[in-house]
């Protein structure tokens, strides 16, 4: 068993089976790196994750600890070469499983909790969780207006009116797509 600590004051710690916790690539790498240390006795502090979020993470990894590992696809990043196949890989269809649908904090007032969860999944490198969370957000955003998305994502319109007008012209062509 491995202990994970939240960033709260005082920290809240969770005890998680090693198998489950290894769904997080970040922690898995860390554990592998510290092979030889008695990690069962050393709580791992997670300075980016608060207690409610960590609780969700723990719930999710415990539920999914027996999932078959996802097929890794090497991702070419920032590859400027004109690789004929680089732009070809369509994103595989992500389907949110039933359990996860109920699990995700999807009520509107829980929006920030959802973002915190995705933040944590990103930081802990739990790709399947990140994928279904992002898929949920994308479905939510899909078809909505720019204003709605701004509000939903807590983003501020930081364009000057001039910039905005110019951008509007620049993207006008997309209307017909």
Partner 1 sequence: MVDLEVKVARVQAENDRLRRTLADFSERVVCGRLTGDLPDNFLEQFSQLPDRPLEQVLRFLPARQVVQMRHVSRRFNHLIRKSSKTMPKMKRDGIVVFRSNKAGELIVGWFNYRNKKIAEATLADHGIALSELLRFIHIGGRMHFSDGFSATDEVLNQLSIAWLTIRPEVLVFSGDLSHTSRDSLKAFFVKVEPFVTQIQFQGACNIADSLLSDDVIGAAGQLDGLMITSVSSGSELPNLNIGDDTLLSMVDAGDVSSYFLVMDCSSITPGGIRAFVEKWMKKERPQLDANYSGFRGLLEACDLAFYKCANVTPATVEEACGDLLEEGTMAESYVGFGGGKKVERVQYIIQCPSSNCRLGIVFSDYLFNCYCKYEPMLEDEIDDYYDDHDLDDLDPEIEHDDFDA
Q: Which residues bind partner 1 (CB under 8 A)?
A: 5, 7-11, 29-30, 33-34, 43-45, 47-48, 75-80, 82, 84, 86-91, 94, 112, 115-116, 118-119, 121-122, 130-131, 133-135, 137-139, 141-143, 146, 149-150, 153-159, 164, 167-177
The residue to which tokens 């995700």 are assigned: 104
Nearer to partner 1, 25 or 66 (CB): 25
Phi and psi of 13, rounded to 5°?
A: -110, 145
At its nearest, how many Å lie between partner 1 and the CB of residue 22?
Answer: 15
Q: What is the dihedral of CA 72, 78, 82, 87, to 10 degrees?
A: 50
Least distance CB 38 / partner 1 (angstroms)? 14
- The nearer residue to partner 1, 66 or 122, going by C-beta atoms, is 122
Nearest to 23 by CA among 37, 47, 39, 2: 2
Q: How far is CA 63 from CA 20, 23, 78, 89, 137, in A?
A: 8, 11, 35, 30, 21
Contact 104, 132 (CB under 8 A): yes
Minimum gap (Å) between residue 126 Cβ and partner 1: 11
The minimum distance between CB 75 and partner 1, in angstroms, equals 7
Q: Which is nearer to partner 1, 17 or 112 (CB)?
A: 112
Question: Measured from the CB atom, is 66 or 85 closer to partner 1?
Answer: 85
Sheet holding 2-5, edge to edge: 13-16, 2-5, 44-45
């Amino acid at each position: 068993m491995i202990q994970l600590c939240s960033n709260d004051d005082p920290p809240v710690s969770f005890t998680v089976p090693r198998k489950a916790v290894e769904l997080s690539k970040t922690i898995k790498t860390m554990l592998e790196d510290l092979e030889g240390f008695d990690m069962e006795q050393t709580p791992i502090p997670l300075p980016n994750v608060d207690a409610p979020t960590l609780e969700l993470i723990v719930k999710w990894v415990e539920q999914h600890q027996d999932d078959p590992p996802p097929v890794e696809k090497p991702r070419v990043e920032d590859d400027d070469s004109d690789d004929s196949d680089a732009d070809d890989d369509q994103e595989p269809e992500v389907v949110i499983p039933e359990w996860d649908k109920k699990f995700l904090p999807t009520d509107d007032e829980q929006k920030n909790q959802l973002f915190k969860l995705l933040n944590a999944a990103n930081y802990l490198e739990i790709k399947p969780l990140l994928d279904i969370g992002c898929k949920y957000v994308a479905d939510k955003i899909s078809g909505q207006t720019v204003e709605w998305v701004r509000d939903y994502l807590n983003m501020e319109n930081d364009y000057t009116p001039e910039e905005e007008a110019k951008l509007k012209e620049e993207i006008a062509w997309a209307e017909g797509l």
